[in-house]
Chain A
């Protein structure tokens, strides 16, 4: 007698049902959808849903569903025509501040989505697209930082009226040479007070009294992290300009950024846009002339230029530049300590600080504006052909009154909300001089190759799978059919688990699935051969089944754990596609243990286990 208690069957059924449910979304195709996101990478305002609904209503378009997250708004529509119509309508309604992109949203039915079932994401090698690995030039970032501190120290010494012979970068450190012991004492005190980011010590030169200063390691790490984050922010803005539906922009390691743009084929265009940088300028507001007058007549005073604020209000700014993006050291959103109001704290470098101090000392009560400048790609239709070009876009992102003279550090208050503050800080950082980035790896897969890869991948899975099914059925008869059930369940479970963990399916991942199919039957082969052996030794069929499963177990466990070790090592050291292979291989090992041992035993018990006497096993 070989019987399973009821709970084991319930467990088996539960796992299979859950597995099937979560594997199901992969069978449904995709719906055309329109995706709206902020052009600047800001969080979306929930009120946007109403605006979109109005556009839908006025164009008599019925949306299948609308998903809102702070990152994006996704509207599913029935077919490609309405998708295009809706995208056009939304573009003209929402304007430049938003990116409206065509996308394909999984056509998973609502009840499946409600339990969080989503289809697997296809990797770039399957759906086509561009993959860039970019490296931030940390050496340059470090040099920039050191140079900035040299300026800061010079300025500080000058302000404190301490005479010095030189301040310079020496290797990884800064060295200041002073003329006397007293000067050095004064300088040490001033430096310790003002430049807390530095580790300072004194040493004597042959004729001078020197100070050696190193940037604190944690400050350097933070600066590098900032340089990276700044680049990521800028890249995200750029990618938004491209209108890519599902871009991936991620930090990898300490100095690298992965950019993945599914569906993009024009790599030249992508490179140009990713390479463009933004900057910003601090300018005085021309209070003498009327900007509306200038806008109406087109006559702009010679010393000024006409700009537009973000809401379209004209403003006249002086042609004289106070400071620019390369002078900006940091910008962060926070709260004013006295009033509790949201603010943005800005730090300038020494050059910017001096000019800012000069300007603000003379202009208390006047206004100062920040202009954000970027190269934006534009695509126009010229003689029926699409022509892409870069256009310089200038936008006034902040206008504020100078309350008192300031230099290196200052804050902007009077912002409507903390959200507005964080948006301004984000733009300021994007405009600051970034450490240069370089593309060190590019992998582009054209859409036709992607389609081929999918087809070939699926074909090889299905053909390999069927071959194994046939061989098992012929060789092990009824037991072979049971193993085939387990193999099918195994395939469903692998797909379900890949979908659940949100894994990306790549070509090597498919190879991993194929390999798992081949190796998953090993457990069954081991068990069945053992059962045959036990039968030959003269055991009864029931006893042979029991012994076969029992004795084969430790063998299977040992064999699988060692394969798992190899798969885990692959996962730890592999990158990209190789990782995908490791993930499917590991998952396959785990699910095959479950289906091939636990699952087949359940079915075998159902077939043979109830009878008191079994004359012969079909094996």
Chain B
């Protein structure tokens, strides 16, 4: 069975201008949204208090708000979470700052005045000092991951590839974050973890294409960099589609069956896999070509007397006629 026909000869590279324009628009939108709307930072980063409770019967939100106002709280949000019986109360860090961790106890007391049968589902209190630390750590983690990858790819391939790969990764991270910002999804620690997983996945895809590109550069006698890139991407196309499909399947399972808490995580990864697959085809390879990758860059240092690599003719369908 084949999803992708075996002799595809899609000319990806001639469409790279269109792709670049498309990416540029996406990037502009993303950065624009990040600048104007910003990220809806979760509790992990801002500090504050979140309390999720479950009432035996769906309460009126106004009653819940009233109980909190009576307890002397002014700035808070009350929302349904999943079902009408589940309520989430969020309080900003400034409110918590004064009374410390005792705030969760007091809010729970207030909430139980609405209905004594209220059940605690989840309490999260994060002090302001923690939030700042986590934000720094998250940012550092992304930077270190990118640096580590840059080094490894430079070492295993060539610096032009490394730059191409990292350009693709930055492209992916920015667009995924842009989409999170556009839809104002909660940005918490699990989303940072998902972003790093996106980096891992997108890179995986990129490396697979690069690997084939390296092989083709070495064994094909003819063909320009553009032709060989086209050939490599086409050769790997059915693999790319198949792996993206299986990964998508589990992510969709996670999105629909994993519960509310894992939602943002699954969403980030789903968007990331789509963007990552696209970028490893259009951005990573294009970047390497723009930087002037050539056959000489990838030829192994020929030792005298050593076996020369096999060389094959470039299939006719990839020659520019």
> Using a CB–CB distance below 8 Å, which chain A residues touch chain B?
125, 132-133, 135, 265, 267-268, 271, 438-446, 448-449, 452-453, 456-457, 459-460, 463-465, 467-468, 471-472, 474-475, 477, 507-508, 511, 514-515, 517-519, 521-522, 525-526, 529, 532-533, 536, 551, 554-555, 558-563, 565-570, 572-575, 577-578, 581-582, 585
B108 in complex: contacting residue of A125, A268, A563, A575, CB < 8 Å: A268
Instruction: Give Cα A566 to B190, complex, Å.
Output: 15
Any A CB within 8 A of the CB of B60? no
B144 in complex: contacting residue of A268, A443, A573, CB < 8 Å: A573
Residues of B within 8 A of A460 (CB): 250, 253-254, 256-258, 262
Any A CB within 8 A of the CB of B311? no
A443 in complex: contacting residue of B124, B152, B156, B208, CB < 8 Å: B124
B200 & A554 in contact (Cβ 8 Å cutoff)? no
Closest to A463 in B: B253
B259 & A465 in contact (Cβ 8 Å cutoff)? no
Any A CB within 8 A of the CB of B1? yes
Given contacts A442-B101, A465-B250, A475-B3, whether A569 and B148 have CB atoms under 8 Å apart is yes
Residues of A within 8 A of B243 (CB): 519, 521-522, 525
Closest to B198 in A: A566
B250 & A514 in contact (Cβ 8 Å cutoff)? yes
B125 in complex: contacting residue of A439, A511, A515, A536, CB < 8 Å: A439
Instruction: Give Cα A573 to B142, complex, Å.
Output: 10
Main secondary structure of the interface of B (DSSP, over half): helix
Residues of A within 8 A of B105 (CB): 267-268, 271
In chain B, residues 136-169, which have Cβ atoms closer than 8 Å to a Cβ of chain A? 137-138, 140-141, 144-145, 148-149, 152-153, 156
A446 in complex: contacting residue of B3, B101, B121, B129, CB < 8 Å: B121
A561 & B127 in contact (Cβ 8 Å cutoff)? no
Instruction: Give Cα A517 to B134, complex, Å.
Output: 29
Closest to A442 in B: B125
A511 & B196 in contact (Cβ 8 Å cutoff)? no
Instruction: Give Cα A560 to B152, complex, Å.
Output: 12
Known: A464-B250, A514-B258. 7 other contacts (CB 8 A): A268-B108, A438-B100, A442-B124, A460-B250, A460-B262, A511-B262, A573-B138
Residues of A within 8 A of B152 (CB): 561-562, 565
Any A CB within 8 A of the CB of B289? no
Given contacts A448-B119, A475-B1, A518-B246, whether A562 and B208 have CB atoms under 8 Å apart is no
A471 in complex: contacting residue of B141, B144, B246, CB < 8 Å: B246
B122 & A575 in contact (Cβ 8 Å cutoff)? no
- Interface 9-residue window, one of B179-187, B234-242, B300-308: B234-242
B130 in complex: contacting residue of A133, A567, A581, A585, CB < 8 Å: A133
Residues of A within 8 A of B134 (CB): 575
Given contacts A555-B212, A569-B144, whether A456 and B193 have CB atoms under 8 Å apart is no
B259 & A448 in contact (Cβ 8 Å cutoff)? no
B213 to chain A, nearest CB (A): 11
Residues of B within 8 A of A468 (CB): 246, 249-250
Closest to B144 in A: A569
A-B contact pairs, 29 of them (CB 8 A): A440-B130, A441-B125, A441-B127, A442-B101, A443-B123, A443-B124, A445-B122, A456-B257, A456-B259, A467-B249, A467-B253, A468-B250, A471-B249, A475-B1, A475-B3, A477-B1, A515-B197, A515-B247, A522-B243, A532-B6, A554-B211, A566-B200, A569-B141, A570-B141, A573-B138, A573-B141, A575-B189, A578-B192, A582-B193
A525 & B239 in contact (Cβ 8 Å cutoff)? yes
Given contacts A518-B250, A574-B141, whether A525 and B257 have CB atoms under 8 Å apart is no
Instruction: Give Cα A39 to B196, complex, Å.
Output: 44
How large, as a class, is the contact surface on chain B? 35 or more
Instruction: Give Cα A375 to B127, complex, Å.
Output: 27
Residues of A within 8 A of B254 (CB): 460, 464, 511, 514-515
Instruction: Give Cα A403 to B123, complex, Å.
Output: 55
Closest to B215 in A: A551
Residues of B within 8 A of A452 (CB): 259
Any A CB within 8 A of the CB of B282? no
Any A CB within 8 A of the CB of B203? yes
Instruction: Give Cα A467 to B256, complex, Å.
Output: 14
Given contacts A440-B127, A460-B257, whether A515 and B245 have CB atoms under 8 Å apart is no
Residues of A within 8 A of B104 (CB): 267, 442, 444
Residues of A within 8 A of B246 (CB): 468, 471-472, 518, 521-522, 525
A464 in complex: contacting residue of B52, B108, B239, B249, CB < 8 Å: B249
B101 in complex: contacting residue of A439, A517, A561, CB < 8 Å: A439
Instruction: Give Cα A445 to B266, complex, Å.
Output: 21
Residues of B within 8 A of A558 (CB): 156, 207, 211
A555 in complex: contacting residue of B144, B189, B208, CB < 8 Å: B208
Residues of B within 8 A of A443 (CB): 122-125
Contact with A along B279-318 (1 / 0, CB 8 A): 0000000000000000000000000000000000000000
Given contacts A463-B257, A563-B204, A566-B196, whether A518 and B145 have CB atoms under 8 Å apart is no
In chain B, residues 82-106, which have Cβ atoms closer than 8 Å to a Cβ of chain A? 100-102, 104-105
Any A CB within 8 A of the CB of B261? yes
Any A CB within 8 A of the CB of B54? yes
Given contacts A442-B101, A508-B193, A532-B6, whether A448 and B204 have CB atoms under 8 Å apart is no
Any A CB within 8 A of the CB of B199? yes
Any A CB within 8 A of the CB of B269? yes
Given contacts A464-B249, A464-B254, A511-B258, whether A449 and B52 have CB atoms under 8 Å apart is yes
A268 to chain B, nearest CB (A): 4
Closest to A529 in B: B239
Residues of B within 8 A of A577 (CB): 189-190
A511 in complex: contacting residue of B149, B212, B265, CB < 8 Å: B265
Enumerate the 7 nearest inter-chain pairs by beta-carbon distance, A residue then B residue, closest first.
A464-B250, A464-B253, A440-B127, A439-B101, A573-B141, A518-B250, A566-B200
B145 in complex: contacting residue of A441, A465, A566, CB < 8 Å: A566
A327 to chain B, nearest CB (A): 28
B90 to chain A, nearest CB (A): 14
B193 & A581 in contact (Cβ 8 Å cutoff)? yes
B197 & A566 in contact (Cβ 8 Å cutoff)? yes
Contact with A along B12-54 (1 / 0, CB 8 A): 0000000000000000000000000000000000000000101
Residues of B within 8 A of A459 (CB): 257
B101 & A271 in contact (Cβ 8 Å cutoff)? yes
Any A CB within 8 A of the CB of B68? no
B204 in complex: contacting residue of A267, A508, A511, A562, CB < 8 Å: A562
Residues of A within 8 A of B247 (CB): 515, 518-519, 522
Residues of B within 8 A of A567 (CB): 196, 200
Which of A465, A518, A529 has the most CB atoms of chain B within a 10 A radius of its CB? A518
B250 in complex: contacting residue of A467, A526, A561, A573, CB < 8 Å: A467
B32 to chain A, nearest CB (A): 27
Any A CB within 8 A of the CB of B177? no
Any A CB within 8 A of the CB of B217? no
A277 to chain B, nearest CB (A): 16
In chain B, residues 46-73, which have Cβ atoms closer than 8 Å to a Cβ of chain A? 52, 54
Residues of B within 8 A of A578 (CB): 189-190, 192-193
Any A CB within 8 A of the CB of B233? no
A515 & B141 in contact (Cβ 8 Å cutoff)? no
A7 to chain B, nearest CB (A): 30
B208 & A559 in contact (Cβ 8 Å cutoff)? yes
Instruction: Give Cα A511 to B247, complex, Å.
Output: 12
Residues of A within 8 A of B278 (CB): none
Any A CB within 8 A of the CB of B201? yes
Which of A132, A474, A517 has the most CB atoms of chain B within a 10 A radius of its CB? A517
A267 in complex: contacting residue of B3, B123, B145, CB < 8 Å: B123
A456 & B258 in contact (Cβ 8 Å cutoff)? yes
B144 to chain A, nearest CB (A): 5
Instruction: Give Cα A471 to B247, complex, Å.
Output: 11
Closest to A580 in B: B193
Instruction: Give Cα A578 to B134, complex, Å.
Output: 11
Closest to A564 in B: B200
Residues of A within 8 A of B262 (CB): 456, 460, 507-508, 511
